[in-house]
Structure formats: C-alpha cells, structure tokens
Amino acid sequence: MTKIYVSSVIPAPAAEVWKVVRDFNALPGWTPFVTESRIEQNAQADQIGCIRNFVLRDGGRIRERLLALSDYDLSCSYTILESPMAVENYIATLSLTPITDGNLTLAEWQADFDCAPEREAALTHQIGTGVFQAAFSALKQRFGR
Amino acid sequence: MVQIRQSTIIDAPIEDVWSILRDFNGHGRWHPAIAFSEIDGGEPVDAVGSVRHFRLADGGELREQLLALSDKDFRLSYCLLEAPLPLMNYVASIRLKPVTDGNATFWEWRSEFHPPAHRRDELVKLVTEDIYQAGFEAIRNLLRERPAAVPLQARSPVVAMTPSAAVPRIASTIFSGQAAKTRAILVERYGGPEVLQLKDIALPPPASNEVQIRHTVIGVNFIDVYCRTGYFDLLRPPGVPGMEAAGVIEAIGSEVSGLSAGDRVAYACPPVGAYCERRNMAPDLLVRLSDDIPDETAAASLLKGVSASFLLHDVHAVQPGSVVLIHAAAGGVGQLLVRWARHLGAMVIATVSSDDKARIVERLGAHHVIVYSRENFAEAVMRLTSGAGADVAYDAVGNDTFGGSLASLGIRGHLVSFGQASGPVGNWDIGRFASKSITISRPNYAHYTDTPAKLSPHVERFFAALRQGVVKIEPPRRYSLSNAGDAHRDLESRRTTGALVLVP
C-alpha cells in the first residue's frame, strides 16, 4: 500500500474554502489540470455513490465515486473507478480544518493505493505534486496569496 | 458542556514542535502561566497515567493526568484532576500535523468541560486566551529565539560549538559497508527516547590525525537529550549522540604524537558521537587519566567538573566570605558547585525544587537550602544576608529564576546565567541593572575549553579537587549502552539526582 500526504495552509476561512471544494463536480473550476467534468446518471454532486467523469488537460479520462462527504468534518473521500494511471484500491480523502489563529484553513489531501512497485515513485510524484499540491497552490492563489 | 478548539501554524518542523510538547512536564518551562511543574512520584514524562502537579504564576495549584500519547500521530490528551477553578470534567487534547508545502506545523488544542453557567464565559475566555493562545505564542517565541547551533543549556553545563567536520563523516560512513564495525546508539530521526537504537555502524581506521578509542564508560548529559530531540543541531540524523566518555586508546594515526595505544583517556567535548563502543577522534582535547581516577568517575564527571571549575574560578572568582546563590543545586553541576564553593570559603545558599532534593543538598554542606517551589527565594536570600544580598548567583534554570536572581543580588552582584532549563530569560532593560551595578555573564562551555591551553588548567584543578576530597562523585547510575533510551527517560523525568553513565 502506497500512501501520499500533502497539506497546505489556505489564506481563507475553512467555510469559504469548503464552499469551493465540496462540489464533487467542480474540479474544472478550481484545479489547473481538469478541463471538464460531469456527474453520471444525473445524480446530485453531493450524493454518496455518485460518479464524476472528468477529462484531464492531457486528455486522460478518470471516473471517481464519492464515498463519503461530511459538512461537519469538512471532508470528502472518493475512489478511482477508471483512470490511465494503473492504480488499484485507490482511496483519497480531502479535508479542511479551521486554523483559528488568523482564521485560515489547513487543507489536507491523502491517498492510499496499490500499484506496480516500479511505478510507485513516479505515481507518488505525479499524484502528490502534480495533482494535490498543484490544486492547493491554485487554491492559495484563488484566495489571494 | 463547552467545547474549545484553538489552532495555529508554527513556523518550524513538526519534530521540533513535538519534541517540546510531548514532554508532559515541559509546560513549566515554556508556558507563561505556569511557575513550576513536576511529575508526581517520578514517573517518566511520557508515561500514560503520569500526573503533573503544577503551580500557576498566581499561586493556584493543579494536577493533570496524561491519558494518551502517540509519537506516531503527534497527539496527546490529558484531563484535569484538581484545580482551583470549576473546570469540571476538563479533558483536552493536543494534535500536530505537518504542513508539507513549507515545513511548518499545524497545532490544534481542543478541550471540553462543564463550567457552572454563571462562570461559563469567564472560563471559556481563560482557557482560550490565557492557556491556549498564550501557549501558542510561547512556543512560537521559544522556537524563534532558539539559535540552531547554540545550545541553551540546562542542568548540565553548556556545550556550544558548531558541528565539526567530523560529524558528517561519521554519518556518511554509517552505511558504507566497510568491514570494520562498532556498536553505537544511532539516532535516525529526532524524537523521544525510543529513537535511541543500538545499531552496527562502520568504523574506519583512524585518520592520520586521529586516535581510535575503545570506550569503557560513557557520560550521559542533558545536552544529549537536546541533541536527540533536535533542539540543538549538534547532531544531524543519522548520527550518534554523546559528548563525554572514558576509555582506552587502541590505535593512533601516523601524525599523532604524545599518545600511544593502551593509554587511558577521557574527554568532554564536541563533536557528538560518544554513545558507541569505539570511535575515532582528534586527540587535542583528550585528557590522560592517572591511575587514581577510575574510568567511571571520569565519564560521570569531567564535563560537569570542568564547568564547575571555570564557573567558580574564571567566570566569577569566588572568595572566602563570598555569598553564593546556586540554583538547581541537586543537579549534576549544582552538586559540584555547592561543595566546591563551600570549600572556597563561601557562604552557600542553594535552591532546589523538592524536599528530597533539599536533603541531598544539605548533606553536601550548603549553609542554607530553599525549596523555591514553596518559598520566594529572593526574599529568603535577603533575609539570610540581612539585606546585603548575594555576591554571585549561578543560574542554570533561566526563565523561572532570572528575575529572582537579579533581586537576590547585592550591590555589584554578578549573575552567571549558564543555562535555561525553564526557558529563555527574555529581554531585560540593562538600565535597571544600574540600581545595584549588576554584572551579567552568559558563559559558553566551548569558549572556556576548546583548546588544550584553556582546558588543561580546569581539568587539573578538578582532578586535584577530586583527589583532595573537595568534591565527591557519587557512584553514577549505570545503564548498558543498549538501554540508552531508559537513561534518557530517567534523566528527563527528573527523578535522578546524581550522574548517569552508559556501559558498552
């Protein structure tokens, strides 16, 4: 099992950041690497079990299922159903925690998955830096820093 | 029930923040609201179930019990057992998380309790601001004021030197796969006592300007704890801690003169690396041991003895009739200072944190012993000296005692601040010192000992004092090298009074 953990401080209150990231269909709106996304079968984007079907800038298509969403904990978890990345048992959680000192947000994104051993380093970099950190950097910019 | 949740970002790596917070008794050193703290019954500071008994700056006494502690999750929780305020059913937890883009630390402090309705707002404000937010600020300042390579010393003396060239060499040879190996305590990451693991590391033949020493006894000092936790960067993982040892020379480099295989030697100096069976080092600061100084005595006392020597003779020359105030007098250096200052003809006023320690210091010959957790020591010093005050105060406690030490001094008194076990002393307006023409010293071990010419007078004087019985070294508490972690636990729990040594 490979684990990835990325965290960052977003210069905005957690409730405001949550408004942006809780929408399971909103990746094109806040990440730099997704061009289009739709929720399959006309489901609601916050319905547990719904599937988002999105296209990366490089053309790759990914389907992910929402496993959990908590407006109390400000966190959501999802699993990859189909992707070009050759990962298995992929479960990721994105969560926000208020930083009361300054009214900021700690954003955390972690993932567990299985893959071929020789792919582990490349995938860890691709997902940790290219996806999670890139998305957090975009969020930081969006909120003004 | 009310729930409080406060969080902040500390601009330091998570290991640094955790090394401070995981010490359940450490809040007495860094939290501004706390005047004094100790663990009941001498339990280790990280033992679940241990109870800390502490006193607030306003005199209130509290007891809190550690409920859980995880070095893996950087989390601990505790509950209140006794308090002067109705914080009913107070349970709190501290949790750290790394901020991976920037090497900072997220710190959350949360709690719940049941206040009486009419005091709810007042108690919520107290916990939120005076405890949690003040704590955040104190840790932030502590880490900011901490210069990376300059040790802030505690109960044992100050050893400050920039890491020598030998440190990276030790680290780089650890996994080099050479045939010659030695057993050593290797710190692969900063952390609690559990990071002290016995491993085989490579040991090349000594370089042309080095000797190889087989250790027989290794001294344990509080600075080793700071190296282990990353508080000082004298040790960079992976590395071997330890500043003091005695042993036998087994091999010498081609350019070394004046020493030969079979010589008994001891040392008390950087670079770190003493926690091992054998090591190579430059011979400059090695001390040759005569037959009447046992290895165990040398390893248990050289660092402390040399410190006591320069503190009493160079930093301040104690004279017959001098009034000398010594804090932490039951500690390693403190015990030597008490005996030695008395021998020099001084009137010795000692302070300690508990009655047990008071009895030890009385037996050492202190004229007066003050339990500073119970009595205002500055007032006591003035009373004992009929208002004249002390000529010199030896203060390794720092934050908790600095102001009191100033107040204890007489006209032209000298405050020797050689450690800060309770935290940095903060900023002082030196203009106020003119009211008594006070002198302040902040000696650094290295500056008094880093050349043979500086070191040898102290070594000779200390060994002479030992031979004459001026100072005595009680048999140290012995641990096997593989149990270095236990030695650190005991040292940090403050239940030890004499010296600790490791035996390879």
Integer Cα distance of B291 and B463 in angstroms: 12
Integer Cα distance of B313 and B332 in angstroms: 18
Least confident of A108-117, B36-45, B400-409: B36-45
Name the residue among B309, B302, B360 with its Cα closest to residue B331.
Answer: B360
Given this model, what pLDDT does residue B372 score? 87
**B97–A contact, CB cutoff 8 A:** yes
Structure letter (DSSP) for residue B459:
H
Q: Which of A6, A100, A102 sits opposite B5 (nearest CB)?
A: A100
Q: In chain B, what percentage of residues exceed pLDDT 70? A: 92
Q: B227 to chain A, minimum CA–CA distance in Å?
A: 28
Q: What are phi and psi of B186, to 5 degrees?
A: -110, 125
Given this model, what pLDDT does residue B59 score? 79
Is the model's pLDDT at B175 over the cut of 70? Answer: no
Given this model, what pLDDT does residue B251 score? 93
Q: B133 to chain A, minimum CA–CA distance in Å?
A: 8
Put simply, the answer to whether B9 touches A100 (Cβ < 8 Å) is no
Query: Mean of the pLDDT values across residues B353-365?
Result: 90
Put simply, the answer to whether A104 touches B97 (Cβ < 8 Å) is no
Q: What is the pLDDT of residues B235-281, one digit of tens each?
A: 888 999 999 999 999 999 999 988 899 999 999 988 899 999 999 99
Q: What is the pLDDT of residues B3-56, one digit of tens each?
A: 999 999 999 999 889 989 999 988 988 898 888 888 888 777 888 999 999 988
Mutation site, B93, B99, B124, B139, interface A, largest A CB count within 10 A: B99
Contact (Cβ atoms closer than 8 angstroms) between residue B295 and residue B200? no
**Angle ∠(B377,B416,B351) on CA atoms, nearest 5:** 25
Mutation site, A4, A6, A7, A103, interface B, largest B CB count within 10 A: A7
Given this model, what pLDDT does residue B146 score? 57
Spell out which residues of chain A touch residue B5, defining contact as CB-CB under 8 Å: 98, 100
Q: In chain B, what percentage of residues exceed pLDDT 90? A: 64
Integer Cα distance of B124 and B298 in angstroms: 54
Q: Which residue has the tokens 């005569």?
A: B290
- Find the closest chain B residue to A102 by CA distance: B8
Contact (Cβ atoms closer than 8 angstroms) between residue A54 and residue A67? no
Put simply, the answer to whether A9 touches B106 (Cβ < 8 Å) is yes
Put simply, the answer to whether A100 touches B6 (Cβ < 8 Å) is yes
**B103–A contact, CB cutoff 8 A:** no
Q: Which helix (H) or strand (E) holds B467?
A: helix B452-467
Structure letter (DSSP) for residue B126:
I
- What does B309-364 look like in DSSP terms, one character per residue? HHIIIIIS---TT-EEEESSTTSHHHHHHHHHHHHTTPEEEEEESSHHHHHHHHHH
Model pTM score: 0.56
Q: B386 to chain A, minimum CA–CA distance in Å?
A: 50
Q: What is the average pLDDT value for chain B, to the nearest integer?
A: 88
Given this model, what pLDDT does residue B223 score? 83
Task: Give residues 50 to 109 of A whose Cβ lies within 8 Å of B.
Answer: 97-102, 104, 106, 108
Name the residue among A95, A102, A110 with its Cα closest to residue B10.
Answer: A102
State the Rg of chain B over Cα. 23
Given this model, what pLDDT does residue B145 score? 66
C-beta contacts of B161-165 below 8 A and 24+ residues apart: B161/B234, B161/B269, B161/B270, B161/B271, B161/B446, B161/B450, B163/B233, B163/B234, B163/B235, B163/B236, B163/B270, B163/B271, B164/B270, B164/B271
B297: tokens are 């005595």
Q: What is the pLDDT of residues B220-230, one digit of tens each?
A: 988 898 889 88
Length in residues, chain A: 145
Integer Cα distance of B494 and B222 in angstroms: 11
Given this model, what pLDDT does residue B416 score? 97
Given this model, what pLDDT does residue A66 score? 97
